[in-house]
Amino acid sequence: MRRLAALFLLCAATAHAQAVIDPGMSKSQVIAKLGAPLAERTSATQTFLFYKNGVERRAGMNDVVILQGDKVVDAVFRAKGRSYSGQSSSPREVSAAAARSIGRQRQPEPPAALSPAPTPTPPVKKPAALPAERAQAEDVARPMPPAGSGQRNAQKAADDAAAAKKAAAAAAEKKAPDATKPDPNAPPAKKP
């Protein structure tokens, strides 16, 4: 029983031991110290090893070890039992109380009366609508009813009738004789 208790205490002590990652360590050495990564990503010459840290919600990130050419070049740890012996690119953690006090020290914005007045911009003249834009605007103004409805069939018939009327007017205009030109089939006019 004593052996079991001693073994339990030894395991608990090693679990709380500080895992230190040094610059220049290889990927296999990092995995030997921290275990298998949660995820591994590679971008160009860098490899990123991501580890769960237990404070992802508070810290907003996983712990990460960055390798370049199979050598550790940087690490960012938020877990209590991990540290990086080199110079980390991550800023130091700021406590919530310190962040609140920094926010209070921030200078207030100048009043609106002291800020320069915005310069008015001249109105932009809208260009004339192209035929396709006008047609689209008409379709938007008068949307098409759902397919299979009697209303749609009546609207289609009205549209077809309007198109036929327009075509007939154009054809009649084409056939109407022009009063300024003499009719070649008419008999010659008598001279007095």
In a domain, 51, yes or no: yes
Q: How confident is the model at residue 133 (pLDDT cuts 50, 70, 90)?
A: low
Identity of residue 189: A
* 57 falls within a domain: yes
User: Where residue 38 sits, what CATH number does that domain have?
Assistant: 3.30.1450
Residue 77, in any domain of the structure = yes
- 5: in domain: no
- List Cα–Cα distances, 41 to 37, 47, 64, 65, 98, in angstroms: 10, 6, 10, 11, 34
Kindly report, residue by residue over 8-52, the tens digit of the pLDDT: 444 444 445 688 999 999 999 999 999 999 999 998 889 999 999
Whether residue 158 is contained in a domain is answered as no
Closest CA to 54 of 78, 76, 83: 78
- Against a cut of 0.85, is the pTM above it? no
Domain that holds residue 49: 18-84
**Is 127 a member of any domain?**
no
Query: Does the residue 64 lie in any domain?
Result: yes
- How many folded domains does the chain comprise? 1
Q: Which of residues 55 and 37 earns the better pLDDT score?
A: 37
Residue 80 lies in a domain: yes
